[in-house]
Amino acid sequence: MAESPVDVLLKGSSGQSTRGLLKVIILVTIAAAAVSSRLFSVIRFESIIHEFDPWFNFRATKYLVQNGFYDFWDWFDDRTWHPLGRVTGGTLYPGLMVTSGVIYHILRFLTIPVDIRNICVLLAPGFSGLTALAMYLLTNEMSSSPSAGLLAAAFMGITPGYISRSVAGSYDNEAIAIFLLVFTFFLWIKAVKIGSIMWGALTALFYGYMVSAWGGYVFITNLIPLHIFVLLCMGRYSSRLYISYTTWYALGTLASMQIPFVGFLPIRNSDHMSALGVFGLLQLVAFADFVRGFIPGKQFQRLLTASIILTAGLAFVGLVVLTMSGVIAPWSGRFYSLWDTGYAKIHIPIIASVSEHQPTAWPSFFFDLNFLIWLFPAGVYMCFRDLKDEHVFVIIYSVLASYFAGVMVRLMLTLTPIVCVAAALVLSYILDTYLKISSGPVTRGRSNEDASEGLRSARTPEVGITSYFSKAATTSSIIVYLLLFVAHCTWVTSNAYSSPSVVLASRMPDGSQFIIDDYREAYYWLRQNTPANAKIMSWWDYGYQIGGMADRPTLVDNNTWNNTHIATVGKAMSSREEVSYPILRQHDVDYVLVVFGGLLGYSGDDINKFLWMVRIAEGIWPDEVKERDFFTARGEYRVDDQATPTMRNSLMYKMSYHNYNKLFPTGQATDRVRGTKLPAESPQLSTLEEAFTSENWIIRIYKVKDLDNFGRDHSNAVAFDKGNKRKKATKKKGARLLRSE
Amino acid sequence: MRPFAVVSALCGLVLSSSSIVSAQSTAAPLPADFKPPQVFKNVNLVRNTNLEKGYARETINVVVENVDKDPQSEYYLSFPSEVFDRVGGLEVRNKKEAEKGRLDVEAVEIDSLSDVRYLIAHLPEPLAPSSQITLGISYSLLNSLHPRPAAIEQSDRQFLTYSFSAYVPSAYQTVTQKTKVKFPSTNVPNYTATNLKTGEDPERQGSTYTYGPYDTTKVAPGTTHPITVRYEFTKPLITASLLERDLEVSHWGGNLATEERYWLRNNGSTLLNHFSRVDWTVANYQQSPSSAIRELKYPLKPGSVDPYFIDDIGNVSTSRYRPSKGNREANLDFKPRYPIFGGWNYSFRLGWNNELASFLRRAVHGADSYVLKVPFLEGPKMAEGLQYEKVVVRVILPEGARNVQYETVEGPSSNGLPSADQFVAEFSSHKTFMDTLGRTTLTLTVESLTDEARDSHLVVTYDYTLFDALRKPVTITLGLFSVFAAIWVVGNIDVSIKKR
C-alpha cells in the first residue's frame, strides 16, 4: 500500500473515505474519458449508424420499439432474403435491441424525447464506460494493490482494441457484449473465491444476458469449465468450486436456452459439451471427495483410478456415438476455421470473404494494444508468482485468447480485456514498488492478508527501492510510456476507427472537409422514388444498409445464412446477360445496385469484391461459373482491353462501366481504382437500363427491363432501336411471354 | 373545435383588423340545382391570370351593381366544383377601402353532385339598390398546371398547359369582361384563339395575352368557353403535399424552436428515359435550366441559430447554411441529396432556434398574459413559387398556458391566407421533457396554400403564471427527493439470512 505519511486525510478512517471518494472520482473520470473518446465520429460527421451489421440491429430495434416485444419475438421478415424471408425473431441475439428498447421506454416514461437512433448510436460508448468499471472490479479481484484496478479500468477505457468495436454509431452486439463478458468473469471470480450460491447465480444471470447479446458467449461457456478443469487437475478441488460451478452451470444453461436462437444447442452442440463434461466430472470428483472421508487411502486410490478411467471412457464413447448418430451436432464450420486457418478458404468462402475473419497481422497487435502487448507476458508471469484460483483463470484466458486473436482479426476483441488486466497487474506492481517516497525497507502490504491462503510465494522477503534516482528514472519512463499510450490511442481512434463508412470524408484543396455522401444519396432515392415493394438485388454486403436506409426488400444480406441464395446472386452478377436475365426475373428483381469506385478511386467497390462473388458462385455451379475464366492467360485480373471475354460480358462488369466513358474524352476513360485505361467502347446493356447514378458514381442502380412487347429478346430489341435511330425506350407492360428458363 | 375568439385589446401589436368567424349554420346542404338570387350585376370584370409561378394566381376586379329593390349584402362567388378544392388563399376586398381588410367569406354547403360550388362574400354594409361597389377577388389555383408532354428527355424544356374558361365563372350576369394572362416568357407555342369578339383574340403583347373584352350581356351566367394555353416553363413545379410546422415556446430557455417537415414532390414533366448522371453533370456544368429541383433557397430570420437539415437517414450533407451577419437574413441553401425530377419525391425536415424575446411580449393589461407573434408560414423563397396542399402549424406553448386565443394578422394587402373559417383549429396537450400536465398545443390546419402566404403572421395570446413556470423545477426536485428517500429506505432493510 502506497501510503504517504504526510497527509492526514490519507490516514485512519478519514483516509479510508478519502481514498474511496478519490476512487469514485477517478472511475467516473475514466468512464467519462472512455465515453468521450468514442465520440469522434459524432462530432466529425453526425449521429449516424456505422458500417453494415449495425444497420440491421438498428432496424430490428426500431421494429421492437414500434411493435412491442412479442411481435419482435415472432418477427418474420419478408423484406429480406426475397423470396425466402427470414425468421428474424428466432435467428438473432436480442440482447442488444432489448437493451436499447428498455432504455428507450424508460426515457419515454420520464417523457424525455430521445430519438431511438441516438440511443442506438450512443449505446456502445455508454457501455464502454460500464466496461471500464467492470474491469476495475475484475482486476481488483486479482491484485491487492488498489492501483491495479484503476489502471486496468483506464486501459480498458481507451485501448483501441476495444474502441474499434465500440465507437459511437457502431451499434453491434459487441457494444454490450464486452461489458457483459468482463462483468460475468468478475462475478465468476467472485463466486469461485467466496464459493457462494448468490455470486454463482449472479454469474449465471449475466451469462444469460451475455448469451442473449452475442454469439461469443461460447467463449465463456468453454473458458469457465476449462478453469474448473485445470483447477481440478491441479488438485485444488474445494466445495467453493463445486458450489459456484454447479450453480452457474445449471442456472446459466437454463438461462441460455431461453434464447430461441440458442435453444437446445447447450445440450446438443459440440461447442457446449465441455461445460457438460466438466459438470459431470465435478460430480464425480465431489463424490470421490465424499467417499474419501469413509474409505482408507490405498483402496481409495485404486477405486478412484478405476472409476475415473471407466467414466471417462464411457463418456467419450457416449459422446462419439451421440455425435455419429446426429443427436449432438458436430463442431460448426466457424469453429473449425478457428483451428485450421485454411479451412474456411477451401470449404466456406463466404466466411473467408469477410475481412474481419482473416488471420491477424502482427503489427495489428501493437496497433490495437500499444505497450500493453509487451506488458502482457509480464503480467501473466506475475500471475504465476501468486497462482491463486483467480490467477489460474487469467493464465488460461490469456493463452486461449492469444491463440484466437492470432487466428481471426475480430477476436482481438476478446484478448483485449485480459491484456488490460495483465498489464495493469505489472504496472501497478512496478509503480507500487517505485513510487514510495519513504526510504528504507518497506513491507509489501498484501503479505498478511494473503498468507491465510497458504501461498508460499506470497511471502516475499522485505525489499524496497531506496535510491531516489532509480525511482525517478523508472517512474518517469513509465509515465512517458503511459502518455505515449494515450497519444497512440487517441490517434488510432481518430484516424482508424471513427469513420462511419456510410459517409466518406475527404479534404477540399483549401483544407475544409468535403463529404462524399453517395451511399445515402442513392439509398434515399430508392426510398423515395421506387415502389415500396421493389426488390433490390445487390451483393450481400449492402443488404442491411438497403434494408435500413432505403427500406426496400433485398435478395441477400449480411446475415449470410443461405449460401446458395448468395451464390445465385453471385452467378447473376458474374454471368452473361442472357444467363442473368432469367435469374433476375425468377427472383422478381426490380433494381440491381452496384458499387463502383472507379471515378473516385474508392477501392472497396464491387469489381474488387467480384472474385469472391465468382468463387462463391463457383462453389454451387462449378460448371457454369469458373474463376479461371476471369483471369487472363497470364493470370492477371484485368478490366481494360485485355480483360477476358467472360469478364467483359459479365453483368457486373457491364453495370460498373456502362456509359462511364462518356465522362471522358474519347478513349481517355480511366478507372482510378485499378489504375487502367478502359476500352473506348462502353459495354452495351440490353436487359437492364440505368435508373440512377449517384453524384460520384459510387452507387449505380439499374432497372430490370420488362419483357419485350413484341416478344423479341432484349438484345434484338436494342439493336432494332439503334438501327432505327429512334429512341423508343418505353417498353411498358404488354402481353407476357412464358419465361425463358 | 373551440369557437374562435377575438382578442380586441392587443395594445402591444398593431393590427388593422381581425377576421371573425361567424358560427357556421348547420342547415342541410342546398340542392344541386340551386341558383343564387340574381340581385347583382357585374358591370365590368377584369381577370388577371398570372402563370409566372408554379401555380396559377388569379385576381378578379369586378364592379358590382345591385339590381334588386332592396339593399343586398350577400355576393355569391362561384367556382366549378373540380377546382373548388384547389382554390387557395381566397380573399375578397372592397377595392375602395382595401385597408379595411378582407370581407368575410363563407362556403355554401351544396349537394355534392352540383357542378358549381358557391361562396358567399358578406359585404361590409348592405349595398343600396342601383349603387355600385368594386370588389377585388384574389386566389390561387393549386395543381392547375399540367405538363405537356407529360414525359420529356432529361435535357428537354418543359411546357405546361393551363385551361380556363373565356367567360369568367360568375353567379351573376356580366356586362363586359376580359382576361389578361401573364406568361413567364414569350414562348407560347399553342393557345386557343376565339371568335367571341371582332378582331384578333387574344391580343398578344409580349408575354401578356388578353382575351376580350367581351360583351356578355346576353350570355347566361355559368356559360363556359374553354381555352387552353401551352407555354414554356423551365422551372420545377414544387409541391409540398404536406408541411408540418412546429413552433415551440420555452419561457425558461427564452427560446422559440421551429421545426418544419416537408413532403415535397415535383409536379413537372417526368423523365421519358431514366435519369442520366452524365447528362446531369453536363447540364450543371453549363448551368442550363432544368425542370428538376436543384436547390431550395431558404432565408431565415436574423438571429436564427442552430439550424439543422435532416431527412429520414440523417444529415443532408449537400446543403449549406450561411449564418446571418448583423441584421441581415441568414440563408439556408437546402440542396436535396439528388435532383428532384418530375414525379420524384423528397421529404426532409429543417429546424432552427430563435430568441424568444423578439417574438413574445407581455400583454399590457394583464401581468400574466403574453402575446406571441410568429410567422404563420416561412418556407423557401423560390422564383417559381411553392404550393402547399396541406399545412399543419403547431404552436406548442409552455406547460400550463391557459386561455389561448389566436388570430392571423391582416394588413392592407393580401397575406395569402384564406379566411378564418378555413382554418381547422385544435387544442391538445403535448408531453415532453419531463412534463407533468403536458404543454398546451394549438394545431392549425389549412389546405391549399401557396408561398404568397410567406409573410403572414399568427398572433397567439395566453395566460401563464409564475406558478406554472415553477411547476417543473418543483416536480423534478420532489421526484429526485423521493427517489433518494426510497433508496435510503430500501438500503436500510436488512434481508440477510445470517443469524444475528
Q: B273 and A692 in contact by Cβ < 8 A? A: no
C-alpha cell read off for A682: 462502353
pLDDT exceeds 60 at position A462: no
Residue A313: per-residue pLDDT = 85
Region A400-420: mean pLDDT is 91
In angstroms, the CA A93 to CA A216 distance is 11
Give chain B positions within 8 Å (CB) of A659. 276, 278
Residue ending a domain, choose from A331, A366, A383: A331
Return the minimum-mean-pLDDT range out of A409-413, A715-719, B78-82.
A715-719
The reply to whether B318 touches chain A by the CB within 8 Å rule is yes
The reply to whether B320 touches chain A by the CB within 8 Å rule is no
The reply to whether A456 touches chain B by the CB within 8 Å rule is no
Give chain B positions within 8 Å (CB) of A503. 317
Identify whether B14 is part of a domain.
Answer: no
Residue ending a domain, choose from B171, B200, B232: B232
Q: Are residues B299 and B424 in the same domain?
A: yes
Identify whether B126 is part of a domain.
Answer: yes
Region B246-259: mean pLDDT is 93
The reply to whether B476 touches chain A by the CB within 8 Å rule is no
Chain B interface, best mutation among A115, A520, A697, by max B CB count within 10 A: A520
Residue A152: per-residue pLDDT = 95
Give how far B338 is from chain A: nearest CA, Å.
6
Q: What's the N-to-C CA distance of chain B in angstroms?
A: 68
Identify whether B206 is part of a domain.
Answer: yes
What's this model's pTM, rounded to 2 decimal places?
0.89
pLDDT exceeds 70 at position A15: yes
Residue ending a domain, choose from A298, A331, A364: A331
> Domain count of chain B?
2
The rounded mean pLDDT for chain B is: 87
Identify whether A566 is part of a domain.
Answer: yes
SS3 B108: coil
Q: Quick one: DSSP state of residue A52?
A: S
Model confidence at A349, pLDDT cuts 50, 70, 90, reads: confident
Q: Are residues B318 and B408 in the same domain?
A: yes
pLDDT digit string (tens) for A191-215?
Answer: 999 999 999 999 999 999 999 999 8
Identify whether A373 is part of a domain.
Answer: no
Q: Are residues B244 and B227 in the same domain?
A: no
pLDDT exceeds 60 at position A736: no
Region A627-640: mean pLDDT is 89
Share of chain A above pLDDT 70, in %: 90
Give chain A positions within 8 Å (CB) of B434. 110-112
Region A436-451: mean pLDDT is 48
Residue A464: per-residue pLDDT = 64
Q: The CATH number of the domain where B328 resides is what?
A: 2.60.40.1730
Q: Are residues B219 and B252 in the same domain?
A: no
Residue A8: per-residue pLDDT = 61
In angstroms, the CA A416 to CA A422 distance is 10
Give, in degrees to the nearest 5, the angle at Cα B366 between B364 and B372. Answer: 65
> What residues of chain A, 693 to 732, have a C-beta less than 8 Å from chain B?
693-695, 697, 703, 727, 729-730
Give chain B positions within 8 Å (CB) of A112. 432-434
- With CA atoms as reference, report the closest residue to B224 among B194, B254, B266: B194
pLDDT exceeds 60 at position B2: no
Main-chain phi, psi angles of B442, to 5 degrees:
-105, 120
Are A550 and A726 a contacting pair, CB within 8 Å? Answer: no
For residue A295, the cross-strand partners are none
Region A385-401: mean pLDDT is 93
Residue A499: per-residue pLDDT = 85
In the block, residue with C-alpha cell 453495370: A655
Q: Are residues B248 and B214 in the same domain?
A: no
Model confidence at A179, pLDDT cuts 50, 70, 90, reads: very high
In angstroms, the CA B210 to CA B438 distance is 57
Which residues contact residue A443 at a Cβ distance below 8 angstroms, ignoring those fewer than 6 apart? A462
Which residues contact residue B285 at a Cβ distance below 8 angstroms, ignoring those fewer than 6 apart? none
Are A526 and A546 a contacting pair, CB within 8 Å? Answer: yes
- With CA atoms as reference, report the closest residue to A596 among A647, A538, A646: A538
ipTM of the complex: 0.90
Residue B17: per-residue pLDDT = 36
Residue B13: per-residue pLDDT = 36
Model confidence at A654, pLDDT cuts 50, 70, 90, reads: very high
* Full strand arrangement of the beta sheet holding B457-463: B360-362, B369-375, B457-463, B402-408
The reply to whether B435 touches chain A by the CB within 8 Å rule is yes
- With CA atoms as reference, report the closest residue to B404 among B376, B429, B423, B432: B429
Give how far B251 is from chain A: nearest CA, Å.
18
In angstroms, the CA B164 to CA B79 distance is 11
Residue ending a domain, choose from A331, A362, A393: A331
Q: Are residues B227 and B249 in the same domain?
A: no
Q: Are residues B174 and B264 in the same domain?
A: no
The reply to whether A199 touches chain B by the CB within 8 Å rule is no
For residue A443, the cross-strand partners are none
pLDDT exceeds 50 at position B11: no
Contacts of A505-514 spanning 24+ positions with Cβ under 8 A: A505/A44, A505/A45, A513/A44
In angstroms, the CA B284 to CA B318 distance is 15
Identify whether B450 is part of a domain.
Answer: yes
Q: A111 and B312 in contact by Cβ < 8 A? A: no
Alpha-carbon dihedral angle through residues A400, A252, A225, A419, given to the nearest 10 degrees: 30
Give chain B positions within 8 Å (CB) of A48. 314-315
Chain A interface, best mutation among B272, B273, B277, by max A CB count within 10 A: B277
Sign of CA dihedral A463, A466, A469, A473: positive
Can the peptide bond before residue B213 be classed as cis, meaning omega within 30 degrees of 0?
Answer: yes
Taking phi first (over 0 means left), then psi (-120 to 50 degrees means alpha), and beta for anything else, what does residue B403 get?
Answer: left
Residue A335: per-residue pLDDT = 67
Smallest CA–CA distance from A514 into chain B, residue: B317
For A6, other C-beta atoms within 10 Å of its C-beta total 10
The reply to whether B494 touches chain A by the CB within 8 Å rule is no
Distances (CA, A) of B186 to A118, B52, B207: 53, 11, 5
In angstroms, the CA A688 to CA A701 distance is 10
C-alpha cell read off for B89: 388563399
Domain that holds residue B331: 238-463
Are A384 and A398 a contacting pair, CB within 8 Å? Answer: no
Identify whether B55 is part of a domain.
Answer: yes
Identify whether B96 is part of a domain.
Answer: yes
Give how far B308 is from chain A: nearest CA, Å.
11
The reply to whether B276 touches chain A by the CB within 8 Å rule is yes
Model confidence at A562, pLDDT cuts 50, 70, 90, reads: confident
Q: Are residues B268 and B352 in the same domain?
A: yes
Domain that holds residue A630: 518-705
Identify whether A120 is part of a domain.
Answer: no
Strands (E), B275-434: 296-300, 305-311, 314-315, 320-322, 330-334, 345-355, 360-362, 369-375, 387-399, 402-408, 424-430
Residue B339 CA neighbour count, 13 Å, CB half? 26
In angstroms, the CA A163 to CA A175 distance is 10
Which of A111, A524, A691 has the CB atom closest to B434's CB atom?
Answer: A111
Residue A344: per-residue pLDDT = 67
Are A547 and A554 a contacting pair, CB within 8 Å? Answer: yes
Identify whether A131 is part of a domain.
Answer: no
Q: Are residues B172 and B283 in the same domain?
A: no
Q: The CATH number of the domain where A680 resides is what?
A: 3.40.50.12610
Are A203 and A193 a contacting pair, CB within 8 Å? Answer: no
In angstroms, the CA A576 to CA A646 distance is 8
Are A304 and A296 a contacting pair, CB within 8 Å? Answer: no
Identify whether B26 is part of a domain.
Answer: no
Residue B269 Cα to chain centre, angstroms = 24
Identify whether B496 is part of a domain.
Answer: no
Region B243-253: mean pLDDT is 93
Which of B278, B312, B338 has the CB atom closest to A659's CB atom?
Answer: B278
Which of B274, B281, B313 has the CB atom closest to A549's CB atom?
Answer: B313
Region B467-485: mean pLDDT is 93
Return the minimum-mean-pLDDT range out of B97-106, B175-184, B306-315.
B97-106
Model confidence at A321, pLDDT cuts 50, 70, 90, reads: confident
Run of H or E residues at A238: none
Q: Are residues B228 and B271 in the same domain?
A: no
For residue B353, the cross-strand partners are B257, B305
pLDDT digit string (tens) for B379-393?
Answer: 899 999 999 999 999
pLDDT exceeds 50 at position B12: no
Which of A45, A528, A549 has the CB atom closest to B345's CB atom?
Answer: A528
Which amino acid is located at B66 in the chain?
A: N
Question: Helix axis angle, A577-586 relative to A563-574, nearest 10°?
Answer: 140
Smallest CA–CA distance from B475 into chain A, residue: A110
Model confidence at A345, pLDDT cuts 50, 70, 90, reads: low
C-alpha cell read off for A643: 480483360
In angstroms, the CA B238 to CA B334 distance is 14
Q: What is A335-352 written as a DSSP string?
A: HHHHH-TTHHHHH-HHHH
In angstroms, the CA A500 to CA B296 distance is 28
Main-chain phi, psi angles of B6, to 5 degrees:
-100, 130
Main-chain phi, psi angles of B211, to 5 degrees:
-95, 125
Q: Are residues B220 and B294 in the same domain?
A: no
Q: Are residues B249 and B218 in the same domain?
A: no
pLDDT digit string (tens) for B27-46?
Answer: 567 887 888 889 999 999 99
Give chain B positions within 8 Å (CB) of A517. 317-318, 337
Model confidence at A334, pLDDT cuts 50, 70, 90, reads: low
pLDDT exceeds 80 at position A448: no
Chain B interface, best mutation among A529, A599, A726, by max B CB count within 10 A: A529
For residue B41, the cross-strand partners are B65, B173
pLDDT digit string (tens) for B131-147?
Answer: 999 999 999 999 999 99
In angstroms, the CA A237 to CA A220 distance is 21
> Domain count of chain A?
2
